[in-house]
Structure 1
Amino acid sequence: MTNSINKPPIWFWIVSVIALIWNGLGVHGYLSQAYETSAYTDAYTTEQLEVMSSLPSWYTALFAIAVFTGAIGCLLLLLRKKAAKLLLILSFIAATIQMIYFLFVADLKGVDFSANEIMAYMIIVFALFLVWFSNHSAKKGWIK
């Protein structure tokens, strides 16, 4: 039985803030890519940029869905709203489809993306952790 006055432990707040920062960095990455800022273009070689620009539009849409629903989900965690669970599940699904496509399906034209591959696995793991964390928080009554 959950009590409406269940106070989350301090580590709930720490994890939620770190998760919001992580997803905030994802939003920044998406906006940098969408607007082709110098921070984005300077991080890649010409060949890598060509490959990235040739990815399908649905791939970019999944990127947007993953980071924006993730950021809003983390904000809802901080506001202790149960809707965070649904948004973090959606973020996980979008990120996982996007990363699986990048890792195993996309034609990278022989261009080295090894650093991006490591990050792709980290994104999937962290998104899955946030699904677990939001579910755990709901069960404990920390979000309602």
Structure 2
Amino acid sequence: MNALGSSTPVWFRLVGIVAVLWNLIGVWTYLGHVGAVPPMQPMTPEQQALSATVPAWVVGAFAIAVFSALLASVLMVMSRALARPLFLLSLVCVVAQMGWTLFVSNARAVEGNAAFVMPLVVTGIGALLYWASNVGVKRGWLR
């Protein structure tokens, strides 16, 4: 299952490529949140009001999470071990951001139980990417 002349399995590189695409969506979502690009989906007035209550530190955690994860994903594709600490940084920021969203904001009042879906998905994918980078370092795929 390895590419010719490579010690890194093809599936691991594919995970890295999918991670780059996933994190590009995250960057676009962040840029839409701060008004740099059009949002991926139009927001209801209630969602706009909720978005206006997000503290600067949560927006900062969002930025660090998506940009460090994108860089980590690119480094994973390039077989660089620096991906692991960047995925960890991203995961810590995701947990902080999603913790605020789930437990402090009124997201559930605005979106109902659906408010739990994306935070859990994003956190789960972040944890899986960090785990994959650990595996990559331990097996020598990330150097």
**Considering the TM-score relative to the shorter chain, is it more than 0.5?**
yes
Residue equivalent to 2:27: 27
Q: Identity, % of aligned pairs?
A: 30
Offset at residue 6 of structure 1 (A): 6.1
State yes or no: 1:15 paired with 2:15: yes
Structure-1 separation of matches of 2:129 and 2:13:
13
- The aligned amino acid for 1:15 is V
SS of aligned partner of 2:109: coil
Offset at residue 38 of structure 1 (A): 3.8
Structure-2 separation of matches of 1:114 and 1:43:
20
State yes or no: 1:110 paired with 2:124: no
Long gaps (5+) in structure 1:
none
Structure-2 separation of matches of 1:112 and 1:64:
23
Higher relative contact order (CA 8 A, sep 6+): 1
Residue equivalent to 2:63: 64
Compute the TM-score of the two structures, normalised by the length of structure 2. Answer: 0.89
Alignment RMSD (CA, Å): 1.8
Residue equivalent to 1:73: 72
Compute the TM-score of the two structures, normalised by the length of structure 1. Answer: 0.89
Offset at residue 37 of structure 1 (A): 4.1
SS of aligned partner of 2:110: coil
**Structure 1 residues 86-120: Cα deviation after superposition (integer angstroms, max 9, x where no partner):** 00000000001110110111234832254342011
Alignment of 1:1-144 (within 5 A): 7-35=7-35, 37-40=37-40, 42-108=41-107, 110-112=109-111, 114-144=113-143
Decide whether aligned partners of structure 1 residues 134 and 109 sit closer, same or farther in structure 2, where only a CA change above 3 A counts: closer
Structure-2 separation of matches of 1:46 and 1:65:
27
